[in-house]
Each structure stands twice: as C-alpha cells, then as structure tokens.
Amino acid sequence: MKRWLATVHLDDVNWLDRSFAIDSFVRPAFLLGSLERHGVLTHPWLLRTEGGRPVVVDGFKRLKWLQENGTVEVECLLYEADSDRRSLTLQRLEAKMVGAVLNLAEKAQIIAKLAGLMPAERVRSEYFPILKLALRSQAVERWGRVAAAEDLMLSALANDRLGERVVLELIDWPETERRKMIALFCELRCSASIQMEIVERISEIALRQGRNRSEIQASPEVQDILKDPDRNHRQKTQALRDLLQSWRFPRWWARQEHFERSLSSSELPAQIGIVPPPAFEGNSWQMQIRFSSREELSQLLTYARSLASSPKIDQLLAPPDLGPSGTVPERHEKP
C-alpha cells in the first residue's frame, strides 16, 4: 500500500466516515493532557478516497483536538485511495492492541471488526489471548453483538461498571430488561462476581415465578433497598443479595434466620461457635471453642454443658415451624 507524509487541511477531512473508528466511551484524560504538554507526537493515518476527501484511519482524538484548538493543517501519514482496506483495518486494529490499555467496550469493537476480516476461530485463537478475553462458547459472535449494543452498555463496560461474564449474559436479554440491570449495576458498583450472582438469582426467580426480570427489579422490596438514603452502595448490594437469596431459596433462608435467632438467644460467649451442617442437610453439627488458658477452657466447657442440658439446644437444632402446609410464609415466596 502506497503511503507518504502529506499536509492535510482539516476542513477537507470526511469526519462522518467512521468506518475505522474504535470508540472508547470515556474521556481520554491522559491523552488530552499529553497533547496539551507536547502536542501530537505521532502522525495520524488518513486514507484518500475516490471522492477526494480523506477519511481518518487512526488518530481520531488527536485530529479532533487539533481542530478544536484552531489548527488548520496537519502533517499526516496519507494512504493512497487504492489501498487494501482489509489490510489497513487489520493494521489499525493491531496498532490499537499494542498501544494503550483497552477497556472492554473497545475490545468488543475490535472483535467485531476482526470478525469481518477473518474466520471466527482465527479471531479466537490469535486475538483473544492478546486481548485477554476468555475463550467462551460463541464468544466472537457474542462480543460482536455487544459492540452493536446500545451506548449505555458500552459506556458501562468502558467505565468498569460491567464485568466480562455478565455482559455476555446480558446481551441475550431483551433490551428493556438489560437496560434496567445495567442501571442497577451502575448504581451498586459491585464486583464482577457479585454482578453475576445477582443476574443468576433474578433469572432463576423470574423463571420460577413465571415473571419477567423487569418485574423482579421493579418490585417494592428491591426499590426500597435502592432508594434507601441511609445505605451506601455496599450496604445496598448486600441487602439486595440477601433479599434475592431469600426469594430464591425460601426454605433455606427461613432455616438460616431461625438458626441465627436461636443462636443469639442461647447467649453463648463469643469464643463458642456453633456450625450447622452444609445447607442444613444432615445431622452433623459442630461446636468450636477458642481459648487461651486451661481456666478459660474449663469455663467455656461449663457454658457448653449448660447449653447441652437446656431446651435452647433443641430450638437451635430444630427446623423452624413452617406451618401446617409445610411451606414457608408467602412473604418469602415472591416479591
């Protein structure tokens, strides 16, 4: 491909042609600061077209900064109009991959453009490791749909409000449900693993109750948590996790609450812990005692023996009263 350094008048550039663009969806603060301090350090790439107006290949932000700061002409690396667009696109994408750290929105766009240049399996094997993306099933196709999704999703990705796993799950949701979930995560600012937990719980509850996920998110209980002015985002996250857990596993949740109330009423010293069997299944309970002297151990064992001979141990070990129907109260069943 023929290319040379040429002076280009910025008013002649076709700014509407963004076929080579990779949007970052975040303000490039460091780049703008560098431009203020040092100006443009590397030549932007432009491609001449048959119509005569060049299009930007690489350097969108730098050229816009120059234009906004009154620059009329700039020296660019100009490619001839008959250049192979496929090869030029690949050069542009690989230049992005070896440059600054990319956010997930940029990676999605790169995957989508690569998928238009080569087989999906080659994209997966050659470029996913470079982009540090997991080799999940149908990942190329799914990232392509992420790149074409609404700006809200891409902006959330770019600002680290959505994790990799959860965005590939949400891309299959209807847009209305997806938007509400993205807004929820932008407010909660929780980790990627907790995001995935919340998504799975809401999906499971909606399926179990024959409702859509938007209804679960819009329920009064969920909204009360989100609108609580006395909770910070971490407290809201934990409250939401507890609520969804109680709806998804009502019997287990009722058993856990009963156990915690009974343990509190037993008035055991903090050095004595009672550990129930996993998921309260089976009869293998544990008592853990922490002590620092023989005298302390003797005193704690006295407390333990006292509990063993008290009706409180029966309350602790017994499941809660679920009523004559054998089910938990309705308030645990659904939002």
Contact at 8 Å (CB) between 90 and 45? no
Q: What is the 3-state secondary structure (H, E, C) of the chain?
A: CCEEEEEEEHHHCCCCCCCCCCCCCCCCHHHHHHHHHHCCCCCCEEECCCCCCCEEEECHHHHHHHHHCCCCEEEEEEECCCCCHHHHHHHHHHHHHCCCCCCHHHHHHHHHHHHCCCCHHHHHHHHHHHHCCCCCCCHHHHHHHHHCCCHHHHHHHHCCCCCHHHHHHHCCCCHHHHHHHHHHHHHHCCCHHHHHHHHHHHHHHHHHHCCCHHHHHHCHHHHHHHCCCCCCHHHHHHHHHHHHHHHHCHHHHHHHHHHHHHHHHCCCCCCEEEECCHHHCCCCCEEEECCCCHHHHHHHHHHHHHHHCCCHHHHHHCCCCCCCCCCCCHHHCCC
Task: Please give the average per-residue pLDDT across 97-115, as a whole number.
Answer: 95
Separation between Cα atoms, residue 88 and residue 42, nearest integer Å: 17
Per-residue pLDDT averaged across 158-167, rounded? 95
State the chain's mean pLDDT as an integer.
90
Separation CA 202–CA 179 (nearest Å): 14
Domains of the chain: 1-100 (3.90.1530.10), 249-332 (no CATH)
pLDDT given for residue 245 in this prediction: 87
What are the structure tokens assigned to 257, written together? 């609450």
pLDDT mean over 97-117: 95
**pLDDT attached to residue 198:** 96
Residues 198, 292: Cα–Cα separation, whole Å: 41
pTM of the model: 0.78
Cα 306 to Cα 313: distance, rounded to the nearest angstrom:
10
Can you tell me the mean pLDDT for 285-312?
A: 90
User: Per residue in 241-267, pLDDT tens?
Assistant: 999 988 888 887 778 888 888 888 888
Q: What is the pLDDT of residue 324?
A: 42
What is the pLDDT confidence band of residue 322, given thresholds at 50, 70 and 90?
A: low
* The pLDDT value given to residue 328: 43
Beta bridge partners of 287: 274
Residue with tokens 């074409």: 148
